[in-house]
Structure 1
Amino acid sequence: MANREKPGKSTEDVKRELANARKNRVQRITFTGGEPTIRKDIVEIVSYAHELGFEEIFIITNGRMLFYKELARKLSDAGLTHILFSLHAPEARIHDYLTRSPGSFEQTVQGIRNAVGVGNAVGVGNIIVENNTVITRKNYKSLPKLAELLIKLGVDFYEFILVNPITINSYFRGRFEEFVPRISEIHKYVHRALDIGKEKNIWCTAEGIPFCYMQGYEKNATELYMAPQRSILGPGGRYVADVNKSRRECGKIKAETCSRCRYYLLCEGIWGHYAEHYGMAEFKPVAGRYLRSSDIARGGRHA
């Protein structure tokens, strides 16, 4: 919805795309960006999406504008069902460094507090509050403490996503090893952070970590829940018929030895840029018959 490099769409343009999506039987709409909450018409747009009958209405946000509690209430009253925050560390020093925005930690934390438990006037229940954390070399050791903070704040779900080397912005580009950790270094911290969620009955997942490093945590692998041939209708009517196929064709690779791994059919592999820098020696095939998603007990909202 918002983009630093392109002018934002008009209210009418957005409404036109929403109406077109409903005509195509789209049930779930996500407003992302850029930063959608800086739009002056965001409440109006969410309200219109609700009027059109979307079953799930998401906003993906850095959470800073939700520092203002009135916005959280207005969005809830307009019919927002889910809000996905981006808190990347349990302390300002790390989070603000990664966002390059001093003060953003306090604003995002307060934004989460404001969104948790806010009521609404349209009868869809409280907003479901979620959080995505990008795993980097700067924050991976603090993931367990972050999990504790997120639970204390009252989120309904949290996810850890390994930083995608392809999308690293110009500020960090050229500093690959400074920001992209080895998966063999981070997996124990990720596991502990997932354990903390399990202990408190909070659903949590991790994305971008090959299944050979998710043994015992298979049902917490985000990729397990990406349904085959899931389709999306993007901005401007851009249709993606198979999201999973698109992800695999967008730079992910597997080693030859991966074909001997029991997780071969489930695992997407790793980003090619990662292999270029670190190689693939740390990934060892796990013996056993090929597993399919139906072989793994699902958890959380998918149970």
Structure 2
Amino acid sequence: MAEPKRQIEVQLGHFCNNRCVFCVSGQLSDQRRAPQLPMDPIASQIREARAAGATKVTFLGGEPTIQRSFLSMLELAVELDFEEIVIFTNGVRTFRETFRDRIQRVLDGLGPRVKERVIWRFSLQGGDAEHHDLTTVNPGAWDRIQHSMEVLQGQEARITGNMCVVEHNYRSVAKLATVAHDFEFENLHLDMVRPRDSGDRTDEQLRAMMARYSDMAPYFRELVSRCSEEIGEDFDINIGNMPYCIAPEISHKIHHDGQFTVTVAASGQGTTQKGFNKYLDKRSDKVKRGSCADCVFDSKCGGVFEKYVEFYGDDEFQPVSTEQLWTLDNAPSHFVLLAEEVIRAWAAEADGEVTRIHERQGFIDVKLVTPQGTDIELRLSAAPTLPAAGVWWQSAGQRLHIQWLSVISRPEELAWVYQQCEGLASRLGGTVEPFEARQMTEAMAQEHQRRTQRIEQQRHAQRKAMLWIDRLRGRNLDVFRYEQLIAAPEGGVTMSWVQGTRRVELDVSASPVGGRPQLSHRAEGMSEADLRAFNVALAAALRGSQRAASL
């Protein structure tokens, strides 16, 4: 699911069962200054955000699931039909079956895509029991969160992980790779502790929790390496607010800021604050040194916390050059950062334009107009971003990979486009491998013919599948009464028939390679004789016979 352009996160209250060393909520809870909050101010801001176009809501605490308003606000989010609902938790209540049942009854209002639309984000404050329980100041907290994740994993829930990195836990972060693998996390987010969010602390306490970035960097490198080995290179690790220059070789896993987010926070006086721009606020207590302007990451980096510089100085922050990043960027994950400005200027000179940029996937789409007036669409990247079947041709090179999204029928136009791309590669300090224009146009023509035939086959298969669906819709089969038809998210439909406690579900979809539609069924409480009778009636119905129904 793509990240929404607008979202809201809501702190339902500070009350928490943990006493995390870095957290204002734990401190207020320990001081008995974390009252339950009135629901109406929270609800009104959720409604306002939805009306303004927010499609994702995140519930925060303290521990959200122990706030009095939790189930009511969850019901409101379902009522307002948020596309995605994220629930932070430390697992204190989610391992209890009765509580999960209450939550599920609410979430069922989201419809058949409920599992897709709800994310559980577990607050892991260490990579093992020792560091997690030390950081949360709650013996046994690790065992509870492990149990909760195991239960939700068994229910095929979407699970992610979150950690605030401090002196007490950073040496264990690499172990999170195994946790993420074992519990099938979708992503893992780690964030540097923010002094301003830690409560009423002395400088001595703040310095004790804030580790030096240079000391933490080797452990983050190990985490990224282990995730690549245990889960895969594409696993989504997000290391938030780590200065890019400290570990540029893993800078593709570091992020500052994000999509526009309204944060509705609880005050320390038992009230709900007016929502504010999360990432604008996050930058308000950060600073940069003068040399940061020379760093390739300057536009992406929010800087470092003022308190950090007060404690440790800023000598460890040195600018990263463009050439240095080209050398380090083996993924290559920063193609857009490195090449966007050059590509925009190049496209404009060729009477073209940039049509799409995808920073995380690392590509830039452009449209060029040949001297003959033909529009040519290209995808530029440092490595392939589409499967071969999705492009007409691929031209490899050093620092530049071209995926041709248009069919080019004239060798002279092809030669012109290649000449433009060769010039672009040169500007980027790389090359593009040469090709024979006539050979490429002939190959494109052959591929175009194959695709046209394949599309026609698929259309025929879709028409056949629709014919079968029309013949079965509303029709009883033998003694089985037609119940319903549900469209499947991946295409096709699921149709069902019932008779007493017996039930049959039939999946009908078009064949991806043409030909007869694909059928598969699942049966409950059916004997072999029941299945034979159902299949005979099904075959008759698909032939268009009127003998299928006998009720």
C-alpha deviations, 1:261-283, integer Å up to 9, x for none?
Answer: 11111111100000000000111
CA contact (8 A) 2:238 2:255 kept: yes
| Offset at residue 174 of structure 1 (A) | 2.2
User: Taking structure 1 as reference, are residues 101 and 93 closer, same or farther at Cα in structure 2, changes over 3 Å only?
Assistant: same
| Offset at residue 197 of structure 1 (A) | 2.2
Question: Partners of 1:173 and 1:115 in 2: how far apart?
Answer: 40
C-alpha deviations, 1:210-259, integer Å up to 9, x for none?
Answer: 11123232321222x614xx24263668343x54333212x111111111
Q: Does 1:226 align with 2:258?
A: yes
Q: Does 1:246 align with 2:281?
A: yes
User: Taking structure 1 as reference, are residues 233 and 278 closer, same or farther at Cα in structure 2, changes over 3 Å only?
Assistant: closer
What residue number does 1:214 align with? 247
Question: Partners of 1:52 and 1:206 in 2: how far apart?
Answer: 32
User: Taking structure 1 as reference, are residues 293 and 10 closer, same or farther at Cα in structure 2, changes over 3 Å only?
Assistant: farther
Over the residues paired in the alignment, what is the CA RMSD in angstroms?
Answer: 2.9
Of the three residues 238, 248, 260, the one matched with 1:205 is 238
C-alpha deviations, 1:71-128, integer Å up to 9, x for none?
Answer: 335434532611211112233222112111121111111122222242xxxxxxx532
TM-score by length of 2: 0.48
| Offset at residue 208 of structure 1 (A) | 1.6
Of the three residues 107, 121, 135, the one matched with 1:84 is 121
User: Taking structure 1 as reference, are residues 171 and 257 closer, same or farther at Cα in structure 2, changes over 3 Å only?
Assistant: closer
CA contact (8 A) 2:174 2:223 kept: yes
2:241 is aligned with what amino acid? Answer: G
Question: Partners of 2:315 and 2:149 in 1: how far apart?
Answer: 40
Of the three residues 125, 139, 163, the one matched with 1:133 is 163
User: Taking structure 1 as reference, are residues 237 and 279 closer, same or farther at Cα in structure 2, changes over 3 Å only?
Assistant: closer
CA contact (8 A) 1:164 1:271 kept: yes
Structure 1 residues without counterparts, runs of 5 or longer:
119-125
User: Taking structure 1 as reference, are residues 137 and 45 closer, same or farther at Cα in structure 2, changes over 3 Å only?
Assistant: same
What residue number does 1:284 align with? 318
Q: How many percent identity over aligned positions?
A: 23
Q: Does 1:159 align with 2:189?
A: yes
CA contact (8 A) 2:60 2:88 kept: yes
What residue number does 2:489 align with? none
CA contact (8 A) 2:245 2:320 kept: yes
Of the three residues 290, 293, 308, the one matched with 1:259 is 293
Of the three residues 175, 178, 186, the one matched with 2:208 is 178
| Offset at residue 25 of structure 1 (A) | 2.5
User: Taking structure 1 as reference, are residues 3 and 77 closer, same or farther at Cα in structure 2, changes over 3 Å only?
Assistant: same
| Offset at residue 9 of structure 1 (A) | 3.1
What residue number does 1:60 align with? 88
| Offset at residue 56 of structure 1 (A) | 1.1
| Offset at residue 196 of structure 1 (A) | 2.2
The 4+ residue runs of structure 1 with deviation greater than 6 A are 289-293
2:281 is aligned with what amino acid? Answer: S
Question: Partners of 1:41 and 1:257 in 2: how far apart?
Answer: 48
Q: How does 1:28-43 map to 2 (within 5 A)?
A: 28-40=56-68, 42-43=70-71
User: Taking structure 1 as reference, are residues 172 and 148 closer, same or farther at Cα in structure 2, changes over 3 Å only?
Assistant: farther
CA contact (8 A) 1:2 1:8 kept: yes
Question: Partners of 1:178 and 1:239 in 2: how far apart?
Answer: 31
User: Taking structure 1 as reference, are residues 275 and 237 closer, same or farther at Cα in structure 2, changes over 3 Å only?
Assistant: closer
Q: Secondary structure at the match of 2:94?
A: helix
CA contact (8 A) 1:17 1:237 kept: no
Q: Secondary structure at the match of 2:204?
A: coil
Question: Partners of 1:210 and 1:175 in 2: how far apart?
Answer: 22
Question: Partners of 1:198 and 1:11 in 2: how far apart?
Answer: 43
User: Taking structure 1 as reference, are residues 137 and 12 closer, same or farther at Cα in structure 2, changes over 3 Å only?
Assistant: closer
TM-score by length of 1: 0.83
Q: Secondary structure at the match of 1:174?
A: helix
2:14 is aligned with what amino acid? Answer: N
Of the three residues 4, 14, 25, the one matched with 1:3 is 14
CA contact (8 A) 2:127 2:174 kept: no
CA contact (8 A) 2:263 2:278 kept: no
User: Taking structure 1 as reference, are residues 299 and 151 closer, same or farther at Cα in structure 2, changes over 3 Å only?
Assistant: farther
CA contact (8 A) 1:87 1:109 kept: no
2:50 is aligned with what amino acid? Answer: R
Between Structure 1 and Structure 2, whose CA radius of gyration is higher?
2
1:62 is aligned with what amino acid? Answer: N
- Which is strand-richer, 1 or 2? 2
1:277 is aligned with what amino acid? Answer: F
Q: Secondary structure at the match of 2:13?
A: coil
Q: How does 1:44-123 map to 2 (within 5 A)?
A: 44-79=72-107, 81-118=118-155
CA contact (8 A) 1:219 1:299 kept: no
What residue number does 1:294 align with? 336
C-alpha deviations, 1:117-154, integer Å up to 9, x for none?
Answer: 42xxxxxxx53211111111222121111221232122
User: Taking structure 1 as reference, are residues 284 and 117 closer, same or farther at Cα in structure 2, changes over 3 Å only?
Assistant: same
